[in-house]
Amino acid sequence: MARLPREYFDRRSDVVSLVCVTGHMLLVFAAPVAAAYAGPAWWWILAWGFWGSGMNGLLNLMHESAHALVFRGKGPSEFLGRYVLAPLVFADFDGYKARHWQHHRCLGVEGETKDTYVIEIHGTKVLRLLLRCLSGAEALRKFSGHQTRQDEGRQPNTSNGWYLRVVVVQALLAGVLSLAALAGHPSSQEAFVSAVAAYGFIYLYGLMSLTVFAAALRAIAEHQIHGASDVQGYAALRNFKCNAVTRFLMGAYGFGEHETHHLHPGIPYYNLPSATTELVKEQPSLTPRHGYFTTLLHIMRTDEARHPDAASARVS
């Protein structure tokens, strides 16, 4: 593995990082807040789509928090993940962090904790995945497998305090939506209906359906074996070409440079593009050759996904 200069591992100012993170969260959360303020309307479908797909980027931010790379210090990064981001997606941050490091150690081999990328989407199977996500079945599968079950060797014994963090953060969110609804409606009854509907449809259903679908497609693009890519066991590793749209929807916080991240997990996301450029000089296979959606289209058009050990990898 090529060695990189120390500069690629250096952290930027916490003020810059805080502004970026806050701005991203405000942008994504504008959808449910605006919906609560305005009340039910036809454009709620657009708000649901924006929120549900945009939330995938905040899942990527939780991943960056698990690596303690958002801020200069480990404490603030993990505070963001443990007390803000994870409760917003009904997750136990400490359990997620442990599973994720196991994913790094056992990518594509026995002990792997990530099963999403082995889901087959070739042909019409991508529609089956979409229907499972729209029905909420995939979200329930992931929640029951990752949050409520203690599997030996896969899920560590973590404190049940994460339940309380979820309750507190969800209550605060409900309060924000209620205030927005009260500001936009003359009667408290209308405000109540608007807030509940915005929370249930835009926030909760968007998270259970579109966010789960977007996260699944991202993982499949990053790790499912197809075409020319580096392979470890039954998992592939890829870097991606990203424009502003695909960076926001899929490749935020360094996920577009996913292979580089696996090779050097200590590099903060904003240094990964330049680190990739440096590494490509000695390892041309790291060159981003396709975007997320092009890769997914190639996988969907194949007769069969090539991951022969996938069945044994599932941890559902």
Could you tell me the CA-to-CA distances from 179 to 140, 166, 183 in Å, in that order? Answer: 30, 20, 6
- Give yes or no for residue 147 having a pLDDT over 60: no
The angle subtended at Cα 251 by Cα 249 and Cα 254, nearest 5°, is: 145
Domain residue extents for the chain: 6-313
Task: Give the pLDDT of residue 295.
Answer: 94
Helix (H, G, I), strand (E, B) or coil at 76: helix
Closest CA to 194 of 55, 44, 29: 44
pLDDT tens, residue by residue, 259-289: 999 999 999 999 999 999 999 999 999 999 9
Mean pLDDT of 175-193: 96
Which amino acid is residue 71, in one-letter code?
A: F
Mean pLDDT of 155-167: 76
- Give yes or no for residue 201 having a pLDDT over 80: yes
pTM above 0.75, yes or no: yes
| Average model confidence (pLDDT) across the chain | 90
**Distance of alpha carbon 281 from alpha carbon 300, whole angstroms:** 31
pLDDT tens, residue by residue, 109-146: 999 998 899 999 988 999 999 999 999 999 998 888 66
Instruction: Let me know how many helices (H) and strands (E) the chain has, helices first.
Output: 16, 2
Question: Tokens 């605006």, residue?
Answer: 34
Contact 168, 17 (CB under 8 A): no
Q: What is the DSSP secondary-structure string of 227-292?
A: SS-EEETTEEE------HHHHHHT-GGGGGGHHHHHH-TTS-GGGHHHHHHHHHTT-GGGS--S-H
Instruction: Find the largest Cα–Cα distance for the chain.
Output: 66
Question: Tokens 């009854």, residue?
Answer: 189
**Distance of alpha carbon 216 from alpha carbon 247, whole angstroms:** 16
Task: Give the pLDDT of residue 2.
Answer: 64
Residues pairing with 218 in the sheet: none
**Distance of alpha carbon 128 from alpha carbon 122, whole angstroms:** 10
Task: Give the pLDDT of residue 304.
Answer: 56
- Give yes or no for residue 148 having a pLDDT over 60: no
**Distance of alpha carbon 294 from alpha carbon 296, whole angstroms:** 5
> Which of 55-59, 114-118, 182-186, 228-232 bottoms out in mean pLDDT, i.e. has the lowest?
228-232
Residues pairing with 236 in the sheet: 231
